[in-house]
């Protein structure tokens, strides 16, 4: 069990672990280089556009990528703030190590069929054996360059906001307390069709979250259906989407993103109809911007978010550094401010500050990342939760025993590398 604290710096996230739990600290560093360039909810594999898919399907052959990583982390922290200490029992620390090997196989079976599978072998500190896991496992099929099918086990994201993924309807899972619904846990299985149309395209899909490997079989109630339309004009990009599943509100979204005076602006809106309970409507919206300065060495992102839905949850998929989990959305007015400075000439340094406000609580995460030597990365961050002890960021800083750790320090070192082999004909 891990502490349900997720602090997203766009798509760079840091989670806490309890001092008495020897798991590696949860630090999602996979997309740090492009945190201001990609939607937070999507991963690179899902960001292929139709042109890229067509290009990938032209040749037959195989790509094999083997990656290796050795990780170590230390996380001292306090159950109360250091300036409120009244005894040594308030302090605790955690140590984590992990060894991982990943094999990524991308096979072009024919001009129309592509198959991808990802296998992971891990030796985490908390287990006494080797852990084998299956990552993405899906196929793409191209119907005459007009319809593109992808089906299998993978994560897909909707939405624009890098801070509050409330328009990522595919993560707004059905949730029951006692017992949890099958769709409130487990990997995502999706069948989706993409159809290019003029200046945009149409996407239709069916999704479920179950643990098929454990013998779970999805029922009709836990299969969701959704669709999205994209219109990409020169002056703005629009997305319209809707998602339906039993035991959850039917939700529709509208998002727009544009660029004015070298500044990106975005806005999203959501309407939720609780047809499964009291037949009421709720809504949420945001306004945000991102700006690059000094030849993009300095990036600034700010956002205001309002949410009128209560008791709603979203699903965070597994990454290299944390398991899948569910987390609540903050209600009322929320805000986020992110600053990133790139000092490429000095150990490829990235200095960042992450600020979030919601439900009378604050989250502040200053930190840095450096690459002092090839294949070595070092991270240092100081997550702090302030404000009301009933606020979302303070309450999400609980450890496994229910004690709060609103102040901690993260030091993480990674040695990693990869090799690739390709054969096409």
Question: How do residues 183-214 score in pLDDT, each as one tens digit?
Answer: 666 788 999 999 998 888 999 999 998 887 77
Distance CA 349, CA 297 (A): 11
Can you give the pTM of this predicted structure? 0.79
Give the pLDDT score at 25: 37
Angle, alpha carbons 97-100-103 (nearest 5°): 170
Collapsed DSSP state (helix, strand, coil) of residue 386: strand
Distance CA 72, CA 95 (A): 8
Q: For the chain, which residues make up each domain, given as ranges?
A: 7-424
User: Which parts of the chain have pLDDT scores under 70?
Assistant: 1-58, 86-89, 125-128, 175-185, 277, 318-324, 398-403
Instruction: Name, in order, each residue with C-beta under 8 angstroms of 210's C-beta and a sequence gap of 6 or more.
Output: 182, 183, 186, 189, 216, 217, 218, 222
Helix (H) or strand (E) holding 57: helix 50-57
DSSP state of 242: E
Q: In Å, how far are 49, 310, 393 from 55, measured between CA atoms?
A: 10, 44, 44
CB atoms within 10 A of CB 93: 12
- Domain topology for 7-424: Porin (2.40.160)
Give the pLDDT score at 162: 86
**Which of 403, 411, 408, 367 has its CA nearest to residue 385?**
408
Give the pLDDT score at 2: 34
Residue with tokens 């004015």: 260
How close are the terminal C-alpha atoms of the chain, in Å?
A: 47
Residue 306 tokens, joined: 């309002």
| Residue pair 222/176 in contact by the 8 Å Cβ criterion | no
Give the pLDDT score at 333: 93
Instruction: Name, in order, each residue with C-beta under 8 angstroms of 188's C-beta and a sequence gap of 6 or more.
Output: 153, 154, 155, 156, 170, 207, 208, 209, 317
């Amino acid at each position: 069990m891990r502490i349900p604290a997720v602090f997203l710096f766009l798509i760079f996230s840091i989670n806490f672990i309890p001092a008495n739990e020897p798991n590696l600290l949860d630090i999602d560093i996979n997309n740090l280089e492009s945190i201001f360039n990609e939607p937070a909810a999507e991963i690179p594999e899902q960001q292929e556009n139709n042109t890229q898919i067509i290009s990938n399907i032209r040749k037959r052959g195989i790509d094999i990528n083997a990656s290796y990583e050795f990780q170590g982390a230390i996380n001292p922290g306090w159950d109360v703030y250091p300036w409120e200490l009244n005894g040594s029992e308030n302090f605790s620390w955690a140590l984590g190590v992990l060894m991982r090997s990943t094999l990524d196989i991308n096979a072009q079976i024919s001009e129309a069929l592509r198959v991808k599978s990802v296998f992971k072998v891990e030796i985490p500190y908390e287990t006494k054996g080797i852990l084998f896991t299956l990552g993405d496992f899906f196929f793409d099929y191209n119907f005459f360059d007009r319809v593109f099918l992808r089906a299998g086990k993978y994560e897909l994201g909707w939405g624009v906001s890098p801070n509050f993924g409330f328009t990522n309807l595919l993560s707004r899972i059905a949730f029951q307390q006692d017992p949890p619904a099958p769709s409130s846990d487990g990997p995502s299985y999706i069948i989706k069709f993409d159809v290019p149309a003029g200046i945009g395209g149409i996407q239709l899909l069916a999704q479920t979250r179950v643990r098929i490997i454990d013998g779970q079989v999805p029922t009709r109630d836990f299969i969701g259906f959704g669709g999205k339309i994209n219109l990409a004009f020169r002056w703005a990009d629009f997305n319209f989407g809707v998602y339906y599943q039993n035991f959850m509100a039917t939700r529709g979204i509208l998002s727009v993103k544009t660029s004015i005076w070298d500044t990106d602006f975005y806005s999203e809106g959501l309407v939720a109809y609780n047809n499964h309970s009291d037949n009421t409507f709720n809504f949420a919206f945001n306004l945000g911007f991102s700006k690059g300065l000094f030849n993009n060495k300095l990036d600034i992102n700010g956002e205001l978010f309002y949410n009128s839905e209560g008791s709603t949850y979203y699903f965070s998929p597994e990454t290299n550094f944390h398991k899948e989990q569910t987390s609540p959305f903050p209600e009322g007015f929320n805000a986020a401010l992110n600053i990133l400075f790139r000092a490429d000439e000095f150990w490829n340094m990235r200095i960042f500050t992450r600020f979030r406000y919601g439900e009378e609580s604050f989250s502040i995460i200053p930190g840095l990342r450096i690459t002092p030597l090839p294949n070595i990365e070092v991270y240092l961050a100081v997550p702090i939760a302030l404000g009301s002890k009933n606020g979302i960021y303070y309450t999400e800083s609980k450890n496994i025993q229910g004690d709060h750790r609103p102040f901690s320090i993260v030091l993480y070192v990674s040695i990693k590398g990869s090799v690739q082999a390709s054969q096409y004909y």
